[in-house]
Amino acid sequence: MRGQYDAEVPPNVAKTTLYHIARLWFRLYIGSLLVVSGLSLIWIADLTGFVPSEFISVVWIGIAVMGLLFLLLLVPLYRATRRTER
């Protein structure tokens, strides 16, 4: 049975590569859980009146700016990887 699974994985992909990919996905999952939990807590605090509405606006603007900066940094990195000959 083990030989069947080894045949499905290309020979140039090592087990460590698969472990690194799984670790990356796990980190992304935990990070997204933390972000969603934090935003949920801020939203509940806004509904109960503990946090002023201006603070919520600043948080959402900050999230939008961080996303924009991420995309602006991602485009040159993507182009640089495409230009490099392998």
List the domain boundaries for the chain.
1-51, 52-86
pLDDT in tens, 11-24: 666 777 778 888 88
pLDDT band at residue 5 using 50, 70 and 90 as cut-offs = low
Q: Give CA angle at 18 (12, 19), nearest 5°.
A: 140
User: How far does Cα 66 stand from its chain's mean position?
Assistant: 12
CA dist., res. 17 & res. 1, Å (int): 22
pLDDT value for 76 = 83
**Token pair belonging to 78:** 């993507």
| Average confidence score pLDDT of the chain | 81
pLDDT in tens, 54-75: 888 888 898 889 889 988 988 8
